[in-house]
Structure 1
Amino acid sequence: MFTLIAWKYASFRHKNMMLGRMIELSVVVLFWGAITVLCMADDHEVMLLLYAFCVALFCMALCFFFKKADFLRNAMPD
């Protein structure tokens, strides 16, 4: 299932290079924003910390997904 979704994204990324780069860059920016919030928040802002932690984990999972899709995209013929 994971490989099928990664293959579909790799195909999309192969056809739409600029849009794919923008999606990946926005995920990286969102990840660093969540990490910044985690580092700068006080202890009494528990809900904010929880949301930022969940966003950071989700973005990290997407980075592994993008890595798998990039591996599949490199195997595609032009």
Structure 2
Amino acid sequence: MTHAKVISAVSVSGGETVYLTSCDAWTGDVTMAELLGAEDFDWRLAFAQRLREVTGARLVDAVEGEFGFARLAAA
């Protein structure tokens, strides 16, 4: 079974961890992150890696939490 994922990166301006939203913005709140299925991993990650406001964009395991919001999967 493939886990859902979110895209995580580090903000160049502040150094904090941020997550990509479905409207292509970055947020520090993982619950606002776009929850991705396997069919979207490659193209969304490629998009995120081209953005200059962040560095180190990567896929992170996540699950759908309460009310459909993303949350990080337990390690």
- Provide TM-score, normalisation by structure 1: 0.30
Q: Report the structure, 1 or 2, having the larger strand content.
A: 2
Q: Report the structure, 1 or 2, having the larger helix content.
A: 1
Radius of gyration: which is bigger?
1
- Provide TM-score, normalisation by structure 2: 0.30
- Higher relative contact order (Cα pairs below 8 Å, separated by 6+ residues): 1
